[in-house]
Amino acid sequence: MAPLILHGGKTNKNSYKTLIAAEYVGVQVELAPNFEMGVSNKTPEFLQMNPIGKVPVLETPDGPVFESNSIARYVTRLKGDNTLYGSSLIQYAQIEQWIDFASLEIDANIIKWYAPRVGRGPYLPPAEEAAISALKRALGALNTHLASNTYLVGHSVTLADIILTCNLYLGFANILVKSFTSEFPHVERYFWTLVNQPNFRKIFGQVKQTDSVPPLQSAKKPSQPKETKPKAKEEPKKEAKKEPEKPKEAAEEEAPKPKPKNPLDLLPPSPMILDEWKRLYSNTKTNFREVAIKGFWDMYDAEGYSLWFCDYKYNAENTVSFVTLNKVGGFLQRMDLARKYAFGKMLVIGSNPPFKVKGLWLFRGQEIPQFVIDECYDMELYEWTKVDISDEVQKERVNQMIEDFEPFEGEALLDAKCFK
């Protein structure tokens, strides 16, 4: 099958819906080359595909399809052996229900708040207040649903998750600051889990939450009639003074500076080679304590590295096993940015709910790296305690966490996950 051509901007969240769905389904969709918003979508060829001139538009062998949700539905249905539309009639209906919710309750209100602030419409305070209120109501309902569900429908990603996450992306990236979204912790967990799934990340890249709401100064104000002033007498034009050319050295100084190195790369060299420990951990199949644990302490450099225990703050919420496991899995995905500098073990403990989540982390340096604290929002969901390796009790706890010792602190292990 020839690739389908998607006409739309590379950073358009409505294009992302189709591109992510295509990754899950295994359909080849290519962005139209050299597409320029405001130019390409005004050509006669484009208007023949969509007379209203909106993007995206999908060019198929059987004719064009426009409206982003419809395009994503079309791509999803091209292959019948996928789970993006669920496995039953009720799941199909629920997926459609959440697609409508994502469009009418989430996307519409984010746009009503965001668009006037970036000059795409007149700014009216009562309209903004109404949009924020409606958005909070919708996010509150979504937060309640996600308190006991990892995904919107069923136990895996569906088209509803793709469309909702793309709509939330517009908000998280542009206007929904941390102080706003922290009221909806389950929505936060859901969003960061989804955008870090491989098929999402391939399209989104690294997602970062905005630090501020766009200032009002950028909003359009209703145009005022211009006053007509009498023309001033024409005066002879003065020749503009030519500015002296900047010396070559000055021009070189203004060139962009190289990106600063990660502070951890500037630390004194350590005799502990993290990759060697990870290899030893992975390759030890028998006599784990005698080989891997002993090897760890032989390698451990207390000056170049530090060990940390972490305990999840909200264990009382961990009432569903698969939701708890997905929380931990999402956390480990988001820690990928620290792979060069860290090793971790995460334990999910207990035979019955609520399940406890505890972890052990090895970090380069004497503190938890600041870039990890800044970039991985999960960090604040845990209590962090630095390990005192002179305390034999703490040292033995480290050993047990590394080797998945069971029972751990008197309880069975539901699961143990390793970050290496």
Structure tokens given for 160? 């509803």
Confidence grade of residue 322 (pLDDT, cut at 50, 70, 90): confident
At position 175, the amino acid (one-letter code) is: I
Rounded to 5 degrees, what angle do the CA atoms 172, 173, 174 make? 95
Tokens 């792979």: give the residue: 339
Distance CA 193, CA 331 (A): 8
Confidence grade of residue 327 (pLDDT, cut at 50, 70, 90): confident
Instruction: Single out the residue of 273, 409, 325 nearest to residue 281, CA to CA.
Output: 273
HEC per residue, 177-212? CHHHHCCCHHHHHHHHHHHCCHHHHHHHCCCCCCCC
Residue bearing the bigger pLDDT, 380 or 16: 16
Give one DSSP letter per residue of 245-313, joined into a string. PPPHHHHHHTSPPPPPPPGGGGSPP-S--HHHHHHHHHH--SSHIIIIIHHHHHH--TTTEEEEEEEET
List the domains of the chain with CATH numbers.
4-77 (3.40.30.10), 89-209 (1.20.1050.10), 274-419 (3.30.70.1010)
pLDDT of residue 246: 52
SS3 label, residue 361: strand
Whether 404 contacts 289, CB under 8 Å: no
Residues 6+ apart with CB under 8 A from 212: 177
DSSP tag of 413 = E
- Kindly report, residue by residue over 55-80, the tens digit of the pLDDT: 999 999 999 999 999 999 999 999 88
- Its pTM stands at 0.61
Alpha-helical runs (H) found in 28-183: 44-49, 68-77, 89-101, 108-117, 125-146, 159-174, 178-181
Characterise 277 by phi-psi region: left (phi > 0), alpha (psi -120 to 50), beta (else).
alpha
Distance CA 65, CA 6 (A): 10
Tokens 């969709």: give the residue: 29
pLDDT of residue 225: 46
Tokens 């706003």: give the residue: 180
- Kindly report, residue by residue over 182-204, the tens digit of the pLDDT: 999 999 999 999 999 999 999 99
DSSP tag of 410 = T
Distance CA 114, CA 41 (A): 23
pLDDT of residue 241: 54
